[in-house]
Structure 1
């Protein structure tokens, strides 16, 4: 393009000059005045009708020539910034934007000093002090800052799926390569709320290696030199996570506002609600984060070791120490699609209802998933689906409002049970003995009555050793533990706390 502008401009200037000389010879004027660009200006002004159009044509030709020469100079400066090795031909140099810093001895010295050390560098003129790395959706990002939008970040669009990296993988990019992964350099200018981003398509230098470290991350090493005006670079070893969790001092920052944080908090909470080995996997299906309101909701699918699965919903709230599950917010959530109906076997007539003696609650394990009616010694009845059984209690899933809730029923309070097909069981002996064994010589004396007995039936606030608090009505104090009743929807859920775990208990009203 620049070459054509020069040719056209020179041609126009020559043709206009020849025309001016011919007009001057025909009118008997001096020819020397029109050979020099400015000398004949007065002569043109006095005889504008004869020389005006040709003079304008010559000025236009000179202007086009200068524009073409300027474009040629710009192209030369851009091509000169890409150094090439002796005997090497750089292809596509006109489309590559680089800087002398990329191939300078200063950059080489920085790379040599940082090799084998923790990740460090400089992005847009600011040194990195606490960098973190993630590999999410095929993008490797190194960022710094505790906000949702990082203060500094550089992202490499590798298109590498974390699941597909099963062995060490490397990538080398030279400054003269045209088909290189895009690099996004972002920074937040002073006084602004949102970051600015520069997209770099080529002209940079990269030496990257990644290897699987554990199910949640990769170990890697990087040498990256960018051709920006601030001489940005990265060098060193790092650990890349496959989620957006933020870490402080090697621990997850539960105060970081991100759906991945809520999912992690919910998964940690569920692991504490089931005995060890019961849960095989926890799949997070949906996360709703309301950052302005400081609340959220997580829907998960639980897969047990016996192959059974169920869905749960948990409400979360923002506390001074970070995100936490709201007490009493866990419900049954959306249930799995129903299986094809199976024709039930005909029920044989049993005659008048009779009760079978039941001495061990574990005998009810084959009835998991069956609807039962539990009658307590106080006369209260609960009807729900049996979800699990232990030696001293059982769990029922009840329909509450528009959802479900799971409650635990203490075996010591059960009088009888019944099923929909007419079978009944009478609890012959309670799971927890009401009569203590006789004292033997050398045994410790019986502990005195706990002071919590005075709070029975009142609304209390319980603080446990892990710093958590819970409010509810104190239902019972026996068997080395307390029972709290917490309202949930249209019903209530019972929670149990061992006495040694309780730090304090006080009446709230």
Structure 2
């Protein structure tokens, strides 16, 4: 709806301007040429008001739906409006993602790959952006590795060796041709980890003469399908790894713990604007199922309804330290450790961080009782109490201090 209003307003403004220019040309050739410049256009309007007023009124009518459309867009998707005015939709020249300097021939043709990855033991160098690469080299490693990777294979080597596959797409073909071999070639790899998710180093591959393939240089390879921007995961990148990262981050913040392990995530197709997924995860050792809706905005993928605060890096460390302190001081008199002795509403409002994640019970003036973990204070000073309910859910209570008649701290 907003797009139609904005487009309609722009068309009316453009139609009024074209009509105004035609009226200027009808008056005289000099006025017509001069009205193409904005200052002289205004001069024509003032000096020939009777002729120009209808065209000017038409343009002014176009301003109304334009403003209404922009207002609706700002209220529904402010980031998209900001992107429009900041001209982020214009094409820009970007630097290559990977520093590739490997060169050579593949099947007798020049080969200069722009993309590379090594995921699940499969190294891929690819040239071309289509579904099928124009040219591609795939090396399937037989052994798992962690960190750096160094490997040397000679033509006379025997045993279980990596499988090498080359593929190319000719101009008169719709499907690529490929060749495979598992011995008789020369391969040298010396790759070192580069934070956060790359390997970089020397690459050298020579196949038997009939394959007309020889490559050498320095390669840079992704080790997963996450992309990073300013040190943070780029949520705008369409990949399964990005969606899994978003779900994991959401569950960690939702349960205020990093003890979250995704077990099953169903298959889905990208690119997409929305996803509905049923996932299983281990939350602090307990298996749970979650039905999640994800959407993609200007900022990237996010779970619908996600308003949980960022998870502190030391949440689990604080919990662990608290348990250790309690164990060490088990013989200490309870009065020195029990925070319930001096607990009050004023103490919570004065120092909410001291009671973070502790179990509380709030009795309201309406007779209700809200029991759960204390989540701090919101922007309006209300107490946040979270309670995990049966199944994949959580109830959040936002209670104003004035409506609480009794606040109890259930645990020390």
- Normalization by structure 1: what TM-score? 0.41
Counting helix residues as a fraction of each chain, which structure ranks higher?
Answer: 2
Query: Which of structures 1 and 2 has the bigger CA Rg?
Result: 1
